[in-house]
Structure 1
Amino acid sequence: MCIKPGAIHGIDPGVVLKSKFGLPFFNTSRWTFASLTADPEGVADNIVDYIARFSPNIRDVFDGFRMNDLIADLQKSERLYLIVKEFAAVDLHPQVVTGHDMGYIFEELIRKFAESNNAQAGDHFTPREVIALMVDLLFANADDELTKPGTVRTIYDPAAGTGGMLSTAYDHLIDMNPSARPVLYGQEINARSYAMCKSDMIIKGQDVDNVYLGDTLVDDGHSGRKFDFLLSNPPFGVEWKTQQKAVTDEHEQRGHAGRFGPGLPRVSDGSLLFLMHLISKMQPVRNGEGGSRLAIVLNGSPLFTGGAGSGESNIRQWIIENDYLDAIVALPTDMFYNTGISTYIWLLDNNKPADRKGKVQLINAAEMYGKMRKSLGSKRKELRAEDIRKIVELYANFDYEPGDTETPSISKVMEGQEFGYQTITVERPLQLSFHVHKESSELILALKALRCVKDLGQILVGHAADAA
């Protein structure tokens, strides 16, 4: 909504617009794209003024894109007016292009942006089929709960990137139940990715104040809040040295009352910190009701690194002993744009169904993929629709499914206690085998004689030194 300056006198127009009209954001500029094109010479100054008059909760989106710098560059290359003119010719009014369709347009632009920058794409873009699998697993066996008319569910991603996971979860829930009300929350440290995520939430009609710019490990933008569904692809294999003091202080001073009570992983990989943060955001279970479900993408380090007594081992022990771990899905290699390493989806649930309590399901999906016709960076494989369907069926059926002579078992259900182990140091006397024979006795006598000569030489040298 655009309000002309001076239309509301004596009070902040933002207060009126928010309280009376329930508008999440607004613009008080006198400019429109049509009027911007009427002044080719002043288009740069006018569009800067247009952006500056958005409500504060929207202006940081333009800051994230460094829009003023972009406007200056386009003006310098004499392209700004041409671009504004093209946008002015496109009717994107909500009555013409629905929010749902605009969301698809936005997602396609994000995808193309990610593919054109595939060297760094994994930093902010998770392949759509991986997100689809995570969301399907997250919502599996929850049809009765999620298809009730008007159901409201909160969904959270602490490393939201461009918002792909939140967007996919939103679309999936709406497809399941058009009357559902997904409420999205996110946090992102990269200003540009944050701007993209917030733009997507604006398009979907979400509360623009629900996404927060900042470092999740140091500055929890949603402190004290709990969520129904949580999903994330945090940076893995990235050190957390810059956050070490704040994280260590929280661990030592707050213990289990904070987010990192169970332990701290080695500084070279902070992905387990994100996992503990997510667990701290799960809804509590009261009288068997409530709870949350969580899906996170991790590499092999949180699964295998650290022996008994290490920070990683203590964190894993805490997760299993509290019966949070529900399933681990091994994905194919070469699934992500900037790495070909093995990755895993961990599913956690703090209110498991009765048949899953105390158990952990392992699903081997490493051989479930189709080869891409053209590689995108390190991404050479993709999950097909039938692969996703098969994995979700394996999870929903919660049963052992053997492999064959060529591949190991596809699905295993194990007791949580089977994952525990201890490192034991066994000390015993040194036992050596010694046999005397002619060759060895001659060698020993020769060495003994040599040692005597050496000792005698040292004595003579000592006497000579004393005499001097």
Structure 2
Amino acid sequence: MNQPALSAFLWSVADLLRGDYKQSDYGKVILPFTVLRRLDCVLESTKQAVLKEFADRQKAGLNPEPFLLRKAGQSFYNTSPLDMRKLMGDQDHIRENLFSYIQAFSPAVRDVFERFEFHTQVDRLHKAGLLYQVTERFAQVDLHPEAVDNHQMGLVFEELIRKFAEISNETAGEHFTPREVIRLMVNLIFIEDDDVLSKPGVVRTIYDPTAGTGGMLSVAGEYLEEHNPQARLTVFGQELNPESYAICKADMLIKGQDVANISFGNTLSDDGHPHKKFDYMLSNPPFGVEWKKVEKEIRKEHESQGFNGRFGPGLPRVSDGSLLFLLHLISKMRPAAEGGSRFGIVLNGSPLFTGGAGSGESEIRRYVLENDLLEAIVGLPTDMFYNTGIATYVWIISNRKPAARKGKVQLIDASGFWQKMRKSLGSKRKELSDEHIAEITRLFGQFVEAKQDGKPISRIFRNEDFGYRTITVERPLRDAAGKIVLGEKGKQKGKPQADSSLRDTENVPLAEDVEAYFKREVLPHAPDAWIDHDKTKVGYEIPFNRHFYVFTPPRPLAEIDADLKAVTDRIKQMIGGLSA
């Protein structure tokens, strides 16, 4: 069964729920039942062997768990003689039998259904007289991995979540990232490591602090499986939304990952993997979401732990917490001496330039650039994400830059790399083709400047090109007669006093001498001005779009005049025709 047909089938269950459930609650039934049927199908072929092993080990008085996992060939098992098809044989006791079946799963799976609050939905369906019909509908669909592979299953979950989110006016994009964007990010973080990753038996770790349904972790796993089936990628993640967490955990169970590595909760206020470091990381944190709810904990860590904690460099404004995720990921990097790390994070335009010198945002950018951590930023097309049409940027961060990249940053403008989707999905109208992904990966991999149709699409800068000093320019205070007022006490005695109403600031590029700039740009216009050096601050911003702006000269005036004359003559003719 192909993915659209499968999604349509699962969606048809909504027809059964209509009337008894609000549309916004359909997902509470369909998502956990989809997971249940998937797990049911995965365990089908080993069911009898597991039941026999369970009986034998119980008789012997041994802990059966390790034996059952081996027999099931999975990282989970079920010890009930029931399965979803057998549940259909006893309509009168469907509720009790379904509860009994769920309870017979291994603990990690039971946790998945607790996160879905599945018992509540089973009771509700039972009271509405729908439980048997809904269970029967799911028992009929084949979700065995041979019929629906893991990749397809991930897409099915994502499409269902998107549909339910649209119905209930939630932001679907908080739960997952378009697969082609993930593929691009995975290409970029793995690109220089093909030699290492192709060694037999190599084990690497990857982490997503905003894991959603696990799409980023899954695509990274698929990439490595494709390039080196003998390599092993151990995945770690954390997710705040209970339903997304449940799906992510179920997906990882089926793929044989250790689900203890997927934590539940708010990554910023309650890190589920304290003191752990990772080889690779990926994240698409929510755009422009305020962090007021966790402000107390974050400020406490910032003030009490400083650079020993995660938020030493600074805190962004409370209205947008995305740079906190950037700092969190930096804190999770392996030291360079131990092999280092590389990660990709999707951010909107705001973290590139918001906040002047000395602000939290600028201090975070300063930390990243002065520590030579930023490899590249890729500007994506608009309308790429399900919940927003705004421009987005992939930052690639590493503490093990190749020699050629040291001290430099590559900006890639991929805003023109897109094809129109056959059918829009929420705000997503554009997608990256395989060719687009390959071209962006090539530009990054070759670390070259490039143009397309005469316009720059890849540029390379020095880290300090993004830095500047904000200098404070003072002008003297004058009395009513126009005479300069001098200080009378202390250090200010005999010195001209500043007129705060005439105070101004100038941004001087870091690479430029401040005094030379001042003489050239300020003194010709204000000969009595001076710099208050005590107020000088260093700032960093990355004006991405400005670096790709191409000036298009206006048309010659004679050409514009000729066009206007032609239009005027046509209007005169029309007026003449009306009066004739």
What's the TM-score bracket when you normalise by the shorter of the two chains?
A: 0.7 to 0.9
Query: How many Å separate the matches in 2 of 1:340 and 1:90?
Result: 36
Q: Counterpart of 1:466? A: none
Q: Counterpart of 1:462? A: none
Q: For residues 123-170 of structure 1, what are the alpha-carbon distances to aligned partners after superposition, in whole Å with 9 as ceiling and x for unaligned?
A: 102111111111111111221111111221111100000111111111
Equivalent of 2:275, from 224, 235, 251? 224
Query: How many Å separate the matches in 1 of 2:387 and 2:73?
Result: 42
Deviation, structure 1 residue 5: 7.7
Query: How many Å separate the matches in 1 of 2:288 and 2:136?
Result: 45
Equivalent of 1:366, from 415, 419, 428? 415
Q: For residues 248-282 of structure 1, what are the alpha-carbon distances to aligned partners after superposition, in whole Å with 9 as ceiling and x for unaligned?
A: 11111111111111111111111111111111111
Q: How does 1:186-265 map to 2 (within 5 A)?
A: 186-265=237-316
Equivalent of 1:54, from 83, 105, 124? 105
Q: For residues 218-265 of structure 1, what are the alpha-carbon distances to aligned partners after superposition, in whole Å with 9 as ceiling and x for unaligned?
A: 111111111111000011200001111111111111111111111111
* Contact 2:75/2:254 (<8 A) preserved: no
Query: How many Å separate the matches in 1 of 2:150 and 2:375?
Result: 32
Deviation, structure 1 residue 83: 3.8
Query: How many Å separate the matches in 1 of 2:303 and 2:344?
Result: 27
Query: How many Å separate the matches in 2 of 1:36 and 1:62?
Result: 18
Give RMSD over aligned pairs: 2.5
**Deviation larger for 317-326 or 63-72:** 63-72
Equivalent of 1:413, from 453, 456, 460? 460
Query: How many Å separate the matches in 2 of 1:20 and 1:52?
Result: 19
* Contact 1:159/1:216 (<8 A) preserved: yes
Query: How many Å separate the matches in 2 of 1:215 and 1:122?
Result: 17
- Kindly provide the amino acid, as one letter, of the partner of residue 229 in structure 1: Y
Q: Counterpart of 2:486? A: none
* Contact 2:158/2:213 (<8 A) preserved: no
Alignment partner of 1:271 is 2:322 = yes
Query: How many Å separate the matches in 2 of 1:317 and 1:22?
Result: 50
Q: Counterpart of 2:153? A: 106
Equivalent of 1:36, from 82, 87, 91? 87
Q: Counterpart of 2:221? A: 170
Q: Counterpart of 2:560? A: none
Deviation, structure 1 residue 37: 1.9
Query: How many Å separate the matches in 1 of 2:465 and 2:449?
Result: 16
Query: How many Å separate the matches in 1 of 2:71 and 2:440?
Result: 49
Alignment partner of 1:347 is 2:392 = no
* Contact 2:310/2:327 (<8 A) preserved: yes
Equivalent of 2:387, from 314, 334, 338? 338
Q: How does 1:72-87 map to 2 (within 5 A)?
A: 72-87=123-138
Q: Counterpart of 2:425? A: 376
Alignment partner of 1:125 is 2:171 = no
Deviation, structure 1 residue 71: 1.8
- Kindly provide the amino acid, as one letter, of the partner of residue 427 in structure 2: S
Q: How does 1:284-433 map to 2 (within 5 A)?
A: 284-286=335-337, 290-404=339-453, 407=455, 409-429=456-476
SS at match of 1:29: coil
Query: How many Å separate the matches in 1 of 2:393 and 2:142?
Result: 43
* Contact 2:74/2:254 (<8 A) preserved: no
Deviation, structure 1 residue 55: 2.4
Q: For residues 44-81 of structure 1, what are the alpha-carbon distances to aligned partners after superposition, in whole Å with 9 as ceiling and x for unaligned?
A: 11101211232222211111222112222333444332
* Contact 1:152/1:180 (<8 A) preserved: yes
Deviation, structure 1 residue 103: 0.8
Q: Counterpart of 2:188? A: 137
* Contact 2:315/2:361 (<8 A) preserved: yes
Query: How many Å separate the matches in 2 of 1:143 and 1:280?
Result: 25
SS at match of 2:473: coil
- Kindly provide the amino acid, as one letter, of the partner of residue 60 in structure 1: D
* Contact 2:212/2:241 (<8 A) preserved: yes
Deviation, structure 1 residue 348: 0.5
Change (3 A) 1:250 1:22: farther
Query: How many Å separate the matches in 2 of 1:108 and 1:277?
Result: 28
Deviation, structure 1 residue 175: 0.7
* Contact 2:221/2:233 (<8 A) preserved: yes
* Contact 1:5/1:30 (<8 A) preserved: no
* Contact 1:114/1:125 (<8 A) preserved: no
Query: How many Å separate the matches in 2 of 1:23 and 1:143?
Result: 29
Query: How many Å separate the matches in 1 of 2:72 and 2:307?
Result: 43
Deviation, structure 1 residue 30: 3.8
Change (3 A) 1:337 1:91: closer
Q: Where does the alignment leave 5 or more consecutive residues of structure 1 unmatched?
A: 435-468
TM-score normalised per structure 2: 0.69
- Greater helix share, structure number: 2
Q: Counterpart of 1:179? A: 230
SS at match of 1:426: strand
Query: How many Å separate the matches in 1 of 2:70 and 2:276?
Result: 24
- Kindly provide the amino acid, as one letter, of the partner of residue 281 in structure 1: K
* Contact 2:377/2:412 (<8 A) preserved: yes
SS at match of 2:435: helix
Q: Counterpart of 2:121? A: 70
Change (3 A) 1:72 1:186: same
Query: How many Å separate the matches in 1 of 2:174 and 2:305?
Result: 31
* Contact 1:328/1:363 (<8 A) preserved: yes
* Contact 2:443/2:458 (<8 A) preserved: yes
* Contact 2:283/2:344 (<8 A) preserved: yes
Q: Counterpart of 1:8? A: 58
**Deviation larger for 78-87 or 244-253:** 78-87
SS at match of 2:102: helix
Deviation, structure 1 residue 16: 6.9
Query: How many Å separate the matches in 1 of 2:152 and 2:431?
Result: 22
* Contact 1:102/1:203 (<8 A) preserved: no
Change (3 A) 1:58 1:370: same
Change (3 A) 1:93 1:382: closer
Deviation, structure 1 residue 333: 0.9
Q: Where does the alignment leave 5 or more consecutive residues of structure 2 unmatched?
A: 1-46, 482-580
Query: How many Å separate the matches in 1 of 2:204 and 2:351?
Result: 29
Deviation, structure 1 residue 14: 4.2
Query: How many Å separate the matches in 2 of 1:37 and 1:425?
Result: 78
TM-score normalised per structure 1: 0.85
**Deviation larger for 118-127 or 307-316:** 118-127
Q: For residues 285-321 of structure 1, what are the alpha-carbon distances to aligned partners after superposition, in whole Å with 9 as ceiling and x for unaligned?
A: 11xx501110000011111111110111111111111
Deviation, structure 1 residue 112: 2.1
Query: How many Å separate the matches in 2 of 1:176 and 1:249?
Result: 44
Deviation, structure 1 residue 342: 1.1
Deviation, structure 1 residue 26: 2.9
Deviation, structure 1 residue 430: 6.9
SS at match of 2:390: coil
Change (3 A) 1:370 1:20: closer
